[in-house]
Chains A and B, each alone.
Chain A
Amino acid sequence: MIRHLRSAADLDAADATLILDTAGEMASLTGGREVKKLPALRGRTVVNLFYEDSTRTRISFEAAAKRLSADVINFSAKGSSVSKGESLKDTALTLQAMGADAVVIRHPASGAPHRLAEWVDGSVVNAGDGTHEHPTQALLDAYTMRSRMGRLDGLRVAIVGDVLHSRVARSNVLLLTTLGAQVTLVGPPTLIPLDVAAALSEKTQVSYDLDAVVPDSDVVMMLRVQSERMQDSYFPSAREYSRRYGLDVARLRKMPEHAIVMHPGPMNRGMEIAPEVADSPRSTIVEQVANGVSVRMAVLYLLLGGK
């Protein structure tokens, strides 16, 4: 197993499958039990180093580490020495001195986990870095798809929205194509990054027409689109964006009957996704959150060499 999870590209198909299988075991070991705790990482220290507010991701990692009996230290950029201007390197050396076995990092700068991995001995887990990647989100998305659809190989997945700024999209493209899915990126041309297929996976397709893609998709994954993007001329208005690229009830009806709707959250209801769609039985949004804990348990367990 690899030592760090900085990018979904760190995972080959065997490693990725092992994580998903292990997540399944974690879910069955802890699910439905009153005591949701396993002793696997007793005595190990996991630091959550969060330079951005992200309650849902931090709580998910914290729950995962605690269910494995690890000691968890939450190190938030707010109200810490970080806000006094301490460098990432000095923070890393501090964590190193405290004996962190794993550091889970969320950071606004792309590549911060790569830098951190040079300065600590423990495992580094990328919990979202800038507009780069969010590999555990991709793993939990893949886990959710596999649970619902029974397979990933050959699965047709549409990822819709602000791909340019989305770390979720980058990680999903890398992981899903590694696992044999067919990914189509959909959005206005302004929000599809340059040379995306060459950059991530030659198997990736690009479309600017959501209506054309929806009927042939097994999974439609909607990305969060910040309405501020319209200030920067990526699209003219939230209304136009929503009409052209939002998943509304009419588009939901055009999806195959078995197809599911995903969203990494937090959602802009009425913008990229209609409330009726978000709350429909086809939506896996709440399931994704629950699966997140199992997947992160599997990642921490495997990276820290748990047996």
Chain B
Amino acid sequence: MSGASATPGRGRLALPPAMIAAPLVVIALMLGRHWLFLPEDLVLLIGAALLFAFGGFVLGRLVGLPDRWIVIAVPMLWLVVFFLVPFFVLGRISLAETMIARPPYSPLWERGDDGGIEIIASLENYRFLLSDALYVNAYLSSLKIAAISTLFALLIGYPIAYYIARSPEPRRSILLLLVILPFWTSFLLRVYAWIGFLRRDGVINNLLTWAGIIDEPLVMMQTDFAVYIGIVYTYLPFMILPLYANLVKLDGALLEAASDLGASPVTTFLTVTLPLSVPGIVAGSMLVFIPAIGEYVIPALLGGPDTLMIGRTLWDEFFSARDWPVASAVAIVMLVLVVLPIMWLQSVQNRQEAQE
């Protein structure tokens, strides 16, 4: 709060009004709770958000940060409290031993017999993950399923994105809306709907039998096939939107230039359109690949007992085996597996931006 104080024209966020406003908001929320019968969760959520805003603001002001830092400090604090701190908690549990206790893991330190403090932390859980083929296979299988799903989402999404990007304006907006439309229904409901299509006496089997194409119903439910369908279907919009955003920027004159220089439409696509859409492909693929690795609901609903995915292993470990330390280790490894591709994506994007 030293030199940067109260220069006219560069308005400082005033601390005293905020200090008055905060209790007023709290009182308003409490009154709202009692007289307007606002749901408790809502009051808590608004209260928590305001508390964070206020806390970040006061903290930033006390430390003497400039205002633009304070603006960032609020979401930063949110991220630290709800993402970074749980991550460390998880990391700490992953280093503990499982115990029949509450919570079901060993404390971080213990007073030894000689009165000194012993820190109980070992990488035993991580070694266990490596030694047991189940976990390694679950990771590999998750990566495989995510990769194959991403590939199919790309193969299906690219032509759609290309078509939308090349459509004339009024139709383009409608098509984009259609891509986003499924989000208006809950993801869970949409995955359930697929069961109706894929099951033994589902829409697809009935239709094919009626048309005389098959005699025996196809087994589609509880297979990896159903999981692929579910993942590709669910994440397709995340592939289409970044690809569309990229392809719509493509300068038509470049395509004409390629054609003018003797390139056939296929060559034009391979030498101009495709290389220039790489950022869109990377962004779309990451948006599909990353959540697909940790996918739990789709394999649980559509997959069979032998569909091995890490999200499911994680759930089993936490809730069936109640082995929190191993489950935490599984989660940490999965986070690392996901963070690495994100960092790669970031570096690709930065390079792309530096080029433009």
A and B from one complex: no
